[in-house]
Amino acid sequence: MTADLVLAPPRRSPLNWPLALGLILVAAFVLPAIAALVWTPFGTTAGTPLAGPDATRWLGTDPLGRELVSLLMSSALSSLLLAWFAALVTLLLAVPAGILLAVRLGREGPDLSLLALPAPALAIGLVVSGLGAPGNLTVILGVVLPGCVAVASAVARAFRPLWQRDYVTSARLAGLSPVSAAQRHVLPRFLPVLLAIGLDLLAAALLVEVTLSFAGLGTLPPGASLGLVLRDGQQFLALRPLLVIAPGLVAIGTAIAFMLVASGLRGGRDAAH
């Protein structure tokens, strides 16, 4: 008697919705900012101040007569570049410290949220700007100083469990050096987590830049920043609400996009394991 074989249909992996939505939002917010390097729809020619939206000025103009779409593209680019540089410096300092904390000291560190960076960044900005430092340096220090603590802690918490896996211990007992064991067995699983930490840090750095510039402690005129656009438009909120709503949506939407991609990377890694 031959038993019938029932073949189960192939199991489809579920769609990673945070990653998919995050990538769509990144394309919607970041690509126009990058395009501002070579092109903006209406240029930088000043027109009528506080003009309303029309066919040639899609979101109207700001108090200086600058077309708002073009201004948002160039300001978002400046804010992103400064946030990216501050995040890169933070990662270069904090990642080695976090790995050392996990491997040498056997500690994970406290669980600190990167989204809490704007609060200490404001305090740091007050001190640094009081010393007469340039606005860009204030933003960088506002990200790097508290960010190093949070990132090193997050790196240590992610790296330590991977370092303590049985196969890593076996590889080291077999004579593999710690560096070789990390490169071969830990880094392939750690890199997606590190990328997620970097994206969360970039989102927090962008919010720090916008917050400090809005408070007059970061980027200063004639520089460009989403925080400056918010600051210039707040007194005209009742007359032209888009002057505040539009840059606020760009800043928050871009930060959420980065955080969704980071969440998707973590979710994909967990599903793979």
List pLDDT tens digits, range 130-182: 887 888 999 999 999 999 999 999 999 999 999 888 878 787 777 777 777 77
Of 82, 50, 78, the residue nearest 244 (C-alpha): 50
What global pTM score does this model have? 0.90
Q: What is the mean pLDDT of residues 50-65?
A: 89
**Cα–Cα distance measured from residue 213 to residue 55, given in angstroms and rounded to the nearest whole number:** 31
Peptide bond into 222 cis (omega under 30): yes
* pLDDT tens, residue by residue, 14-48: 789 999 999 999 999 999 999 999 999 887 677 88
Among 183-187, 213-217, 254-258, which is the least confidently predicted range?
183-187
Of 199, 189, 227, the residue nearest 88 (C-alpha): 199
* pLDDT tens, residue by residue, 85-112: 999 999 999 999 999 988 887 666 677 7
The answer on pLDDT for 1 being more than 50 is: no
Q: What is the mean pLDDT of residues 117-129?
A: 91
pLDDT, position 185: 80
Among 27-36, 52-61, 75-84, 165-174, which is the least confidently predicted range?
165-174
pLDDT, position 273: 55
Query: Which one of 1.10.3720.10, 3.30.200.20, 1.10.1740.10, 3.40.630.10 gives the CATH number of domain 25-36+60-272?
Result: 1.10.3720.10
pLDDT, position 167: 79
Structure tokens at 234: 């707040």
Task: Tally Cβ neighbours within 10 Å of residue 28.
Answer: 13
pLDDT, position 86: 98
**Cα–Cα distance measured from residue 111 to residue 158, given in angstroms and rounded to the nearest whole number:** 11
Q: What is the mean pLDDT of residues 193-222?
A: 95
pLDDT, position 142: 95
Q: Any bridge partners for residue 67, and if so which?
A: 61
pLDDT, position 15: 85
Check: CB of residue 195 under 8 Å from CB of residue 261.
no
* pLDDT tens, residue by residue, 234-267: 999 999 999 999 999 999 999 999 999 999 999 8
**Cα–Cα distance measured from residue 229 to residue 14, given in angstroms and rounded to the nearest whole number:** 41
The answer on pLDDT for 11 being more than 60 is: no
